[in-house]
Amino acid sequence: MNKLRTSLMFLGIVAAVFLWFASSLYQKVPAGYVAVATLFGEVQKEPYEEGLHIPVNPFYDWYFYDVRQKSHLEEANVPSQDQLQTKIQVSVQFRLINESAPKILQETGQAKDVLRVHIVPKLRSLLREQGKTIKRAEDFFLEQTQQNMQVSLLEGLTDYLGPKGVKVGAVLIRDISLPPFIIKAIESKKEREQEVEKQKAELERFKTEQQQKVALAKAESEAAKEQAA
């Protein structure tokens, strides 16, 4: 009885080891991902694209990277030359480069580390640099200023992040919030301009009415002269 029990336990252990070994001979990579393998801590140079891979080294450890398009929304206070802080909201569209996944694992870490270590700090730095070229905070509202910022941010991020395994697709300015007192000043200016336009319209209406009255009086005078004649 004891021999039978021992034999069954041995067979169970052998079966478990066999199943573990068999399941370790293949690796499935989901759609939109790449996998990076390490062997005893050493990063393998070639990434594994999506799909089923057979056979693979059963002693590999696996790290998966989502290489689909991502969008990150960042908000920062940006000082202009007048020392005023303008809140700017920017979105960055990016994705990890498939072939660079092993390098990312070796030099940076996981995908979330790429965002924390590289993308966010560089984006904030570039925004501050852009602010130094803007004379007044209200100039951020100018269409040309926003276009120039988007182009400069895209070029700066592309140059910096490309070698680190990140492809930047676009940089878009989503929202701009000026300091409250500037917003109030702009609104007051608009109200004054609207009031001036209103007064101009009233003046034009008054002139038109007076011209009509003069024309009517002249016509009546001429008609009276004709009747008298």
CATH code of the domain containing 149: 3.30.479.30
Q: Is the pLDDT of residue 17 over 50?
A: no
- Tell me how crowded residue 198 is: count the other CB atoms within 10 A of its CB: 10
Q: What is the pLDDT of residue 9?
A: 64
Residue 220 placed within a domain: no
Structural contact between residues 27 and 35, judged by C-beta atoms closer than 8 angstroms:
yes
Q: In what order do the strands lie in the sheet with 85-96?
A: 70-79, 85-96, 166-177
My answer on whether 159 and 174 are in the same domain is yes
Task: Read off the tokens for 38.
Answer: 């390490």
Structural contact between residues 65 and 101, judged by C-beta atoms closer than 8 angstroms:
yes
My answer on whether 134 and 159 are in the same domain is yes
**Pairwise CA distance, residues 170 & 150, whole Å:** 8
Out of 18, 34, 66, a domain closes at: 66
**Pairwise CA distance, residues 111 & 36, whole Å:** 12
My answer on whether 53 and 76 are in the same domain is no
My answer on whether 84 and 148 are in the same domain is yes
Query: Which residue matches tokens 């021999």?
Result: 3
Residue 222 placed within a domain: no
My answer on whether 54 and 83 are in the same domain is no
**Domain span at 12:** 2-66
**Pairwise CA distance, residues 22 & 8, whole Å:** 21
Out of 15, 40, 66, a domain closes at: 66
Out of 16, 51, 66, a domain closes at: 66
Q: Is the pLDDT of residue 7 over 60?
A: no
Residue 217 placed within a domain: no
Task: Read off the tokens for 25.
Answer: 């001979």
User: Domain tally for the chain?
Assistant: 2
Residue 224 placed within a domain: no
My answer on whether 51 and 86 are in the same domain is no
Q: What is the pLDDT of residue 13?
A: 61
Which residues, in sequence order, are CB contacts of 26 under 8 Å at separation 6+? 52, 53, 54, 55, 56
Query: Which residues face 15 on adjacent strands?
Result: none
Residue 229 placed within a domain: no
Percent of the chain scored above 90 by pLDDT? 55
* Span 85-125, pLDDT tens digits: 899 999 999 999 999 999 999 999 999 999 999 999 999 99
Q: What is the pLDDT of residue 68?
A: 96
Q: Is the pLDDT of residue 79 over 80?
A: yes
My answer on whether 89 and 170 are in the same domain is yes
My answer on whether 174 and 122 are in the same domain is yes
